[in-house]
Amino acid sequence: METDAKQTGQKFDNAVVMGAGIAGLFTARIFSDFFKKVTLIDKDDLPNEALSRKGAAQGDHVHILLKQGQMILSRLFPGIDAELEKFNIPRVNWASESVWYNRFGASSPYLSQIETHSCSRILLEFIMRRFVTRIPNLQILSKTEAVGLYSINMGKTITGVQVKTSEGKEFTLESDLLVDACGRNSPLPHFLKSLGFGSPETISVESNLGYAGRLLKKPKNNPFAWKQVYVQLAPPENQRGGILIPIENDLWLVNLIGAGSDRPPVEEKAYLEFAKSLRKPDIYQAFVDF
């Protein structure tokens, strides 16, 4: 489809994507093949480096890019692997360098073809954003919040989005196609309701899990047999788990996980105690054993 559109030159006029998280960046990248102009907006002040931001606060936690995701990323953003490697990010073999404790035991190590980059979500998003910024028919408007839908015919057809900048300037972005990639706190149901469409049905799944994270300086020579560890919860007996992955800047990113009311604490001593209480010692050892 990508080739067809490029060969025939048939393009629609313009598309607007609300939200420049991972979903918005992918969407905008793909639309740039089909629309003459793509505008990607985000209410955050999108940083020019790999930094956390309020609009995607979950970005500080462990995020795993699986193999299929990595392949799609490389196809849509040619050169992104090399760009990520400039940040000296580790590669992890999922069968020989990962330990995954499930509720029945642990998988035996073996050499597999499944190898992925391991980095923070913040870095991945920043690099994707840098690629998207270079696309000539695509513009990113940061500090620009979607505040309502725009309709030229009293709400019969949505023909754009009303936005407001952090300086208080309001204007309309007209579009042939408008996509909502604002994540779980999307204002779209509210926008639709105010135009008389009613709210779409919402399905809410309560995972009942809580996470607390830490960054650890990785030792120069990893004394452990693994590069990453996942201690999965084993309910109902054991409601605690944890995950440790290597990321850029020679760091380990750790998330301790608790289910129900048993949430991992943030205070230092209690955090270590929680790590120590996991049914496997590997993550705790990473805190204390070198």
- Taking the complex as a whole, how short is the minimal distance between the CB of residue 170 and ligand FAD, in angstroms? 13
Look up residue 57 and give its amino acid.
Answer: A
Bridge partner residues of 256 (DSSP):
212, 242
Name the residue nearer to ligand FAD (CB basis): 257 or 286. 257
Name the residue nearer to ligand FAD (CB basis): 56 or 231. 56
Burial category of 148 from C-beta neighbours within 10 Å (exposed 0-12, middle 13-18, buried 19 and up): middle
- Taking the complex as a whole, how short is the minimal distance between the CB of residue 224 and ligand FAD, in angstroms? 21
By residue count, the chain amounts to: 290
Name the residue nearer to ligand FAD (CB basis): 109 or 189. 189
Residue that the structure tokens 């084993």 belong to: 234
Could you give the residue ranges of the DSSP H alpha helices within the chain? Answer: 2-8, 22-31, 67-76, 80-85, 121-133, 188-194, 268-276, 282-288
What are the residues binding ligand FAD (CB under 6 A)?
18-24, 41-44, 55-56, 58, 61-64, 145-146, 181-183, 187, 211
Name the residue nearer to ligand FAD (CB basis): 58 or 102. 58
- Taking the complex as a whole, how short is the minimal distance between the CB of residue 161 and ligand FAD, in angstroms? 9
User: By beta-carbon distance, which residue lies closest to ligand FAD?
Assistant: 55
Q: What are phi and psi of 250, to 5 degrees?
A: 55, 45
Residues 6+ apart with CB under 8 A from 180: 18, 19, 186, 188
- Taking the complex as a whole, how short is the minimal distance between the CB of residue 260 and ligand FAD, in angstroms? 16
- Taking the complex as a whole, how short is the minimal distance between the CB of residue 133 and ligand FAD, in angstroms? 15
Name the residue nearer to ligand FAD (CB basis): 5 or 60. 60
Residues 228, 98 contacting (CB under 8 angstroms): yes
Look up residue 191 and give its amino acid.
Answer: F
